[in-house]
Structure 1
């Protein structure tokens, strides 16, 4: 006998790839760039604080008075605020999604703009002081270094980089112009320095953009390589599981198929020895050969679907005639088991026709009806056409054993058989897989509702756009 739960195939890697792709690549990359910037800044927290202290001391030495101390206090408060923000990012934001981390990075533009303006405006402290030109030269050189270092730290995240550079260099240019305006005399070298400062601003923007593009390409490539590796690993795992499932299925099918084949050989030997038993043996031969044919038909359909070689051929099909034909085909099997077969068609759909593949629809209904008969010992089977032209559906009801709630989501998987049914007489676990794949080919959807001990109902929802009214024969 076959195992209670034959091997089931894993969900395709494409489905997992689709779930991963719900977050766009640009968001993932942007989040990674934000993380990169803030990780770099975490290593520069104390050097930045020390620089602010040293620079404010230099300002106080050159100018004296309260303004250097006020600027230094504001700068140190800003550095401490950045420390707190970086700690918040590391402890909470980093645990969030890519979209949340990217949004956090975009919100940092204003803090970066204020921080850059704070450093750029430091030149104003020298306004009106003795020897201001020499002091401005020293502060300018220091600030040039600070601006250049900012590119290395902020280049990965363009919004932060541009906000800082433009506010820093813009404040620097304006502050330097104000200082020059307050000088009693302006030498030509001071005007040249202002021009050089404008060139410096342009250079910062150009170099920053170039560095950002380098970081962006590198991070995008790294992200896509990671996705590719994950996808390859997932597909490899799926392939291994699929091959393992196929191997186990072949072992199960080989064992189970021996029963009807062995029975056919036994019946043939009995007929050869005693031809008078033909009336008794003929139904058994038909039943055994039908089991083998059903397996081969399902395997052939699955192979064609997997290879993409089975395509629907749309044509007008009368739904009522489709059910009537199925009733005629199923009546002998129902009679053999002593079951009742009923047909119900909604009045609104008596003349409904659907543009679909007739053979595929017959195969779908045939597998569902065969399953209903196989698992029903008392009562009967109902074929129904219900709904409206805008929402038609075919239904197959039975009063059989039913399906456990935890198994209903698995019945369409390849090789799955309920724990209550084992052996070849209960099928090979392929019929419903074929039903679902053929339904997808024809644009239909299949659902199941079942209750243990009371039976099941399978519903085929037809695409409304393909249904129309008309009684002309197809």
Structure 2
């Protein structure tokens, strides 16, 4: 035989949900239960009408009617205030009004004062039969809440036993018939059997709801995983379509320039720069793909150290000034001496992507790269006078494969540059913000808070885990 697998411990959320559903199932039957109790009142009165004194019957009738009215009031309040609310509200409501059930048991248990050893045996038999029916009915109606069911049975049995004990020991001084003792014994046995049956029924209800909760969680988890798989397929399809489109353009241009150069070699001075630009475009596309692959595989290597910001910005100036000037743009760098604690290679990649974007989307004016002092850190700002980014797109531009509709220049990239920037800045712990006005330009601000290498490595792993769980 295979060993039983251990049952997973219930979480607080699961326990609360199960308790709420147990209350729902219990309260769902209370109107019918209350109606049954109400219908039994005239039966008791009819059976005992000639056996008990009128004032005793009327006193019991007033108590029974009062408890019945209280139960209907609780049910109405539940239907009006709680029935459509959450598990916590159900549990709280039931805790406030659970006293009603043992109170009802007390009233019905007190009926033994009216008939035990005071009525003919035939009438006593009918009354005991009604009491037994009430007790058995309670384990079905109240088993959703074990404590409440036990309180009902205990109150009913103890009240009856107390009345019988008083009659046998005090009033009859133990001189009554022998069957009294048999009744006491049968009542105790019946009480124990009902408690045990109620406990088992409660466990069945609870396990059913626990299974339902876990099935719902499993279905929800499978639904999320299925949706994630579908999203991944959609992203992959968009990626392949975008890659095929974006790589085809510069490769096709290279083919045209090569054919042109072969047929007219004397135009080499004019064609060669175009071939170089197309080659650079292909290289940039593949660089973006390689960066994305390293990020998603978790193979980003961190080398955090103090670095000279002025030297970093001057190196970037040498790399990107020619690109800006080739478009007729001004390219200015405002660098003051200062240091930051970060990974030089990854930080250079971040700033390079931001500067490249600024040059790419600026047609006139210029680009400014400046290092400024911030509270407890240094801040690098990249300003441009380009086309700007509308507010509706400012959050979306950091998503993978996202391209701002109608932006000139978006046709020659995968839409990965700012996505990679966002991932790297999150890993390095450098907050990135932007401000932009369409038609006026954009500024990206990167705050170089000191990078903790261990925390950065943990963020990198968490980033990979998040991507894989989507």
Normalised by the length of structure 1, the TM-score is: 0.78
Q: Which has the larger radius of gyration?
A: 2
How much does 1:276 deviate? Answer: 5.4
How much does 1:263 deviate? Answer: 1.6
Aligned to 1:225: 215
Aligned to 1:428: 414
Equivalent of 1:414, from 400, 410, 416?
Answer: 400
How much does 1:372 deviate? Answer: 2.3
Residue 362 of structure 2 corresponds to residue 372 of structure 1:
no
Equivalent of 1:360, from 342, 346, 351?
Answer: 346
Aligned to 2:98: 109
Equivalent of 2:108, from 92, 111, 119?
Answer: 119
- Relative to 1, partners in 2 of residues 1:33 and 1:267: Cα closer, same or farther, differing over 3 Å? same
Q: Is the 8 A contact 1:121 1:171 kept in 2?
A: yes
- Relative to 1, partners in 2 of residues 1:154 and 1:446: Cα closer, same or farther, differing over 3 Å? farther
| Higher alpha-carbon deviation: 38-47 or 366-375 | 38-47
Q: Is the 8 A contact 1:381 1:399 kept in 2?
A: no
| Higher alpha-carbon deviation: 257-266 or 293-302 | 293-302
Equivalent of 2:331, from 340, 343, 354?
Answer: 340
How much does 1:157 deviate? Answer: 2.9
| Higher alpha-carbon deviation: 30-39 or 457-466 | 457-466
Aligned to 2:443: 457
Where 2:144 maps in the other structure, the secondary structure is: coil
How much does 1:219 deviate? Answer: 0.8
Aligned to 2:86: 97
| Higher alpha-carbon deviation: 412-421 or 80-89 | 80-89
Q: Is the 8 A contact 2:294 2:300 kept in 1?
A: no
Equivalent of 2:54, from 65, 68, 80?
Answer: 65
Q: Is the 8 A contact 1:401 1:455 kept in 2?
A: yes
- Relative to 1, partners in 2 of residues 1:414 and 1:63: Cα closer, same or farther, differing over 3 Å? same
How much does 1:225 deviate? Answer: 0.9
Q: Is the 8 A contact 2:71 2:100 kept in 1?
A: no
Aligned to 2:241: 251
CA distance in 2, matches of 1:322, 1:364: 12
CA distance in 2, matches of 1:231, 1:107: 35
CA distance in 2, matches of 1:195, 1:435: 81
Matches within 5 A, 1:45-444: 45-126=34-115, 130-131=118-119, 139-186=127-174, 187=176, 189-191=179-181, 193-194=183-184, 196-275=186-265, 277-306=267-296, 308-318=297-307, 320=309, 322-337=312-327, 338-343=329-334, 350-354=338-342, 357-377=343-363, 378-384=365-371, 386-389=373-376, 395-421=381-407, 424-425=410-411, 427-444=413-430
Higher relative contact order (CA 8 A, sep 6+): 1
Q: Is the 8 A contact 1:106 1:159 kept in 2?
A: no
- Relative to 1, partners in 2 of residues 1:249 and 1:47: Cα closer, same or farther, differing over 3 Å? same
CA distance in 2, matches of 1:458, 1:423: 19
- Relative to 1, partners in 2 of residues 1:32 and 1:268: Cα closer, same or farther, differing over 3 Å? same
CA distance in 1, matches of 2:154, 2:317: 79
CA distances 1:31-56 after superposition (whole Å, capped 9, x unpaired): 22221222233444432321344335
CA distances 1:180-237 after superposition (whole Å, capped 9, x unpaired): 4553233465355445544544444443333222221211111111222123223323
- How many pairs align? 439
- Relative to 1, partners in 2 of residues 1:302 and 1:163: Cα closer, same or farther, differing over 3 Å? farther
CA distance in 2, matches of 1:449, 1:408: 9
Where 1:143 maps in the other structure, the secondary structure is: helix
- Relative to 1, partners in 2 of residues 1:424 and 1:417: Cα closer, same or farther, differing over 3 Å? closer
Unaligned runs of 5+ in 2: 1-10, 454-470
CA distances 1:339-369 after superposition (whole Å, capped 9, x unpaired): 3233456x8xx33324xx5443333333223
CA distance in 1, matches of 2:331, 2:275: 24
- Relative to 1, partners in 2 of residues 1:234 and 1:143: Cα closer, same or farther, differing over 3 Å? same
Equivalent of 2:18, from 1, 10, 29?
Answer: 29
CA distance in 1, matches of 2:44, 2:164: 17
- Relative to 1, partners in 2 of residues 1:339 and 1:90: Cα closer, same or farther, differing over 3 Å? farther
Normalised by the length of structure 2, the TM-score is: 0.79
